[in-house]
């Protein structure tokens, strides 16, 4: 079988497979797990296991000294403390992703920002999950008058902060010292945007194709 050569535009393209059935195996507090029978492009019928996820946002908060904020948080599934960008699930129905980002920056870092732009959009695990992610750049930072609100619990009860020069954060990513995908993507995207004079930044409320499947992924009802 010859794979051929792609000569089309350098961009991803939305294309939904025909879904023939869905069997839901698990429904949790945040996501569910299902097996979809689909007709793939080309006509092949296959069963694909899917984690149905609401999506999430993250914030690369950079101050006037070119330092990026990282918070230290315990992550049980991987067994360790990770240095991460402030981030959170899109778990409030109808809330625009920018508002989710504002809320997470306040709740996890006690900060507000006057300047917001989109840095990068990505899928966390497109082979098996609908989770789509948007990382924002936040500048013009200011502390909330009362500090970080005590909205967190469990892993979010204590979130030590580290203000790191952006170039040092890039070195830490490339050295394999930082592993959270939001942090890796956000740090590298922020450095790339800065080195291009910030000309690649996108409007904070612009369309996010990567969110479409997460937003439109209710349990199959056919």
pLDDT of residue 83 exceeding 90, the answer is: yes
Strand partners, 59: 136
Whether the CB-CB separation of 66 and 56 falls below 8 Å is answered with no
The phi and psi torsions of 71 (rounded to 5 degrees) equal: -115, 145
pLDDT of residue 82 exceeding 90, the answer is: yes
pLDDT, position 1: 60
Identify the CA nearest to 132 among candidates 186, 78, 212, 189: 212
Q: Which residues are known to be catalytic?
A: 156
Dihedral sign for Cα 147, 150, 151, 155, please: positive
Q: How far is CA 212 from CA 16, 121, 134, in A?
A: 11, 12, 12
Let me know whether 96 and 182 are in one domain: yes
Identify the CA nearest to 169 among candidates 74, 87, 71: 71
Domain extent at residue 192? 56-209
Domain presence at residue 10: no
Return d(Cα 72, Cα 62) in angstroms, integer.
17
Question: Which of 137-141, 156-160, 188-192 is the least confident region?
Answer: 156-160
pLDDT of residue 129 exceeding 90, the answer is: yes
Which residue in this structure is represented by tokens 């830490």? Answer: 172
Let me know whether 165 and 182 are in one domain: yes
Identify the CA nearest to 89 among candidates 60, 58, 114, 44: 58
pLDDT, position 146: 79
Q: Which residue has the higher pLDDT, 215 or 121?
A: 121
The predicted model scores a pTM of 0.89
Assign residue 110 the CATH number of its domain: 3.90.79.10
Whether the CB-CB separation of 71 and 108 falls below 8 Å is answered with yes
pLDDT of residue 153 exceeding 70, the answer is: no
Domain boundary residue, one of 33, 52, 71: 52
Let me know whether 126 and 43 are in one domain: no
Let me know whether 26 and 111 are in one domain: no
Let me know whether 111 and 193 are in one domain: yes
Name the domain count of the chain. 2
Let me know whether 26 and 72 are in one domain: no
pLDDT digits (tens, 9 = 90+) for 92-127: 988 999 999 999 999 999 999 999 999 999 999 999
């Amino acid at each position: 079988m010859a794979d051929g050569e792609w000569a089309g535009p350098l961009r991803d393209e939305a294309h939904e497979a025909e879904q023939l059935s869905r069997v839901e195996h698990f429904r949790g507090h945040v996501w569910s797990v299902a097996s979809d029978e689909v007709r793939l492009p080309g006509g092949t019928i296959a069963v694909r296991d899917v984690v149905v996820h609401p999506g999430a946002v993250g914030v690369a908060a950079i101050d006037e000294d070119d330092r990026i904020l990282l918070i230290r948080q315990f992550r049980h599934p991987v067994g360790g403390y990770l240095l991460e960008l402030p981030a959170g699930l899109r778990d409030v129905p109808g809330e625009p992703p920018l508002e989710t980002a504002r809320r997470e920056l306040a709740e996890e870092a006690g900060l507000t920002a006057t300047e917001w732009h989109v840095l990068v959009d990505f899928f966390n695990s497109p082979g098996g999950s609908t989770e789509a992610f948007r990382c924002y750049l936040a500048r013009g930072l200011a502390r909330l008058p009362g500090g970080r609100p005590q909205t967190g619990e469990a892993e979010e009860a204590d979130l030590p902060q580290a203000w790191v020069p952006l170039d040092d954060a890039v070195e830490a990513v490339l050295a394999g010292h930082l592993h959270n995908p939001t942090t890796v993507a956000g740090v590298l995207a922020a450095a790339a945007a800065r080195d291009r004079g910030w000309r690649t930044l996108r409007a904070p409320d612009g369309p996010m194709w990567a969110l479409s499947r997460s937003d439109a992924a209710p349990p199959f009802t056919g």
